[in-house]
């Protein structure tokens, strides 16, 4: 039925073009409930970034440290897809945490002075127990993530 509506709106397009536009529309609707982020480098730890940058002339030590930090941050990924939260981290040893947003009871946000200035923070995610099920360090927009995890 939706193909017929596309054909009515754009009569000069072929049936294959209508089907392609419909599939793109469906994918965009599915991605609307998708959120994905990794910890930022400078915004999360500006002093560390400055120190590593100043260490670049010292035998390239700062460049090595910046590269390691970049790879480490890019191997941390928070993904929220509908009612499922996924966290993965690690370069050599991987850790995967999958939580249903229905099971999440509390999300605690901790922010240092610099984290508040740059809009990042640490999240402790609690389910039924007393200890946090997941501790997510240095993510940007922690209040938005909390609102996605606790929409109630």
pLDDT of residue 1: 45
Q: Are 46 and 114 in contact (CB under 8 A)?
A: yes
How remote is the C-alpha of 133 from its chain's centroid? 18
Phi then psi dihedrals of residue 21, to 5 deg: -65, -35
The answer to whether position 12 is within a domain reads no
Q: Is residue 102 a part of any domain in this protein?
A: yes
CA pair distance 54, 32, nearest whole angstrom:
41
Kindly state whether residue 18 falls inside one of the protein's structural domains.
no
Q: Specify the residue for token string 């508040």.
A: 116
Q: What is the Cα–Cα distance from 19 to 89, expressed in whole angstroms?
A: 38
pLDDT of residue 145: 92
CATH number, position 123: 2.30.29
**Segments forming the whole domain that contains residue 104:** 34-39+75-149
How many domains, the chain? Answer: 1
Q: What is the pLDDT along the chain (152 residues), one digit of tens a residue?
A: 454 554 555 566 565 665 666 666 555 555 556 788 888 888 888 889 999 999 999 888 989 999 999 999 999 999 998 889 999 999 899 999 999 988 999 999 999 998 999 999 999 999 988 899 999 999 999 999 999 888 76
Asked whether residue 105 is domain-assigned, the answer is yes
Q: Rounded to two decimals, what is the model's pTM?
A: 0.72
Is 101 buried (19+), middle (13-18) or exposed (0-12) by CB count in 10 A?
Answer: middle
């Amino acid at each position: 039925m939706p193909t017929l509506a596309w054909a009515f709106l754009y009569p000069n397009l072929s049936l294959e073009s209508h089907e392609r536009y419909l599939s793109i529309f469906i994918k965009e609707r599915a991605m609307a409930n998708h959120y994905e982020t990794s910890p930022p480098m400078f915004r999360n730890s500006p002093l560390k970034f400055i120190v590593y940058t100043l260490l670049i002339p010292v035998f390239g030590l700062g460049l090595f440290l910046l590269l390691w930090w970049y790879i480490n941050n890019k191997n941390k990924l928070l993904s929220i897809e509908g009612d499922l939260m996924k966290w993965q981290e690690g370069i050599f040893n991987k850790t995967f945490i999958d939580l249903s947003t229905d099971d999440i009871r509390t999300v605690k946000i901790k922010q240092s002075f610099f984290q508040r200035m740059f809009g990042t923070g640490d999240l402790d995610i609690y389910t039924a127990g007393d200890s946090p099920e997941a501790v997510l360090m240095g993510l940007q927009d922690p209040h938005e993530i909390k609102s996605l995890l606790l929409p109630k």
